[in-house]
Every structure is written in structure tokens, then in C-alpha cells.
Amino acid sequence: MENLSSKQKYMITGVAVLMMILGFVFLQFKQKDDIVIDQGIEVAEPQEQELLQPQIVSEPKKIIVHVAGEVNNSGVVELTVGCRVTDALQKAGGVTKFADVDQLNLAAQLADGEKVYVPKKGEKVANMTPQTQSKSTIININTANKDDLDRIPGVGPSTVAKIIDYRKTKGIFKKIEDIKNVSGIGDKKFENIKAYITT
């Protein structure tokens, strides 16, 4: 160093200072990169945890349908929303050998509270299009008033009066077949109205 000129000494000192400055700048950028990487990991972790969480799957909604007539197990069945008449019949154990399924619309979609009635061969049920009856068209013969009873196909005012009188004197109908005890309602009329009544 003693043999170096002043100019050379200044140059060496300048280079050393420049190296120090560059080293400092490098360290600053490296720290920033580390912070960015750390932040990226911290942000990504919750997202990964969300993906690992089990997905909640809701169960399909259920409907209740009454299946009656020529089926092996008549009664109330539980189905999922969107089911068809054919699904209700399968749920009721299938139809009997006497069933006339050609009168049914097997592809009709069902709603909660509907009634599916399967007629037997040779039986004609009036005004059933399609062969499912909604809750609003099924008449409860124990609670229906005069106007409601009059809505039953084939039941006129005189028969309505007899049904009401029967309820007052004999009590409620325990099953729909008991309506045949009302004067004027025989087997033939009962076959025509049974799809429209309930107890």
C-alpha cells in the first residue's frame, strides 16, 4: 500500500465502498423476498385447509304419498322429490294381478300429499286425469261440510244430506267402506267414489 499512489489508493477505497453498498442493497432485497415468500405461505395455508375440510352434502327432500287400490301393500309411502307414479307403485310392493295399470300415467311426477289409486281390470274411475289425486281433491267424509261432500263425483245433494245425517246419528266412518252403510250408496257407487274419499 505504501508504494501505491494517492490516486490508486482512492480507487481502491472507492471500490471497497461500492462493494459494501452493493452488499447492503443485496441484503435488503433478499429480506423482502423472504417476507413475500413467508406471506405467500401464510395466505396459502388457510386455502389448503379449506380444501381439506369435509363437504356437507344435504339429503334429498322427502314427500309422502298415499298408494291405494290394486297394490300389494297399500298405504302411505315415503319418496324423494321428483319421483314418478311408477316409483310409488314399486314402493308399495308392486301391483296385483288384477290391476289395470293402463289407466295410470306411470310417468306422472308426484307431489307431497298426493294419492295414487290403482283401479282393477274392468273398473272405470270417472274424471281421474292423471290417475293421481291431489290433497285438495280428496274429501274426508268425516269432516267435510255440505259443499265439500258435493264435490265428490257422482254424489248429489240428496246423498250429501244422507251422509251428514249418518254422521250425526251413527258417528264417524272408521273406514271408507263404511260409507256403503249410507242409504243410496251401494257397491257400484262406492267403486266410483272411493278414489276421492278418505277417513
For 38-84, how does the pLDDT look when each residue is reduced to its tens digit (9 = 90+)? 444 444 455 555 555 666 556 678 888 889 889 999 888 999 988 99
Residue 97: predicted pLDDT: 92
Burial of 173 (0-12, 13-18, 19+ CB in 10 A): buried
Could you give the 3-state DSSP secondary structure of residue 184?
A: coil
Measuring CA to CA, which residue among 109, 110, 116, 114 is closest to residue 131? 116
Asked if residue 122 has pLDDT above 90, the reply is no
Region 117-133: what's the mean pLDDT? 65
63 vs 65: CA distance, rounded Å: 7
pLDDT confidence band for 120 (50 / 70 / 90): confident
Asked if residue 133 has pLDDT above 70, the reply is no
Q: Per the structure block, which three cell numbers stand in for 112?
A: 307431497
Does the pTM of the predicted model rise above 0.75?
Answer: no
Residue 71: predicted pLDDT: 92
Q: At 4, give phi and psi (nearest 5°).
A: -80, 145
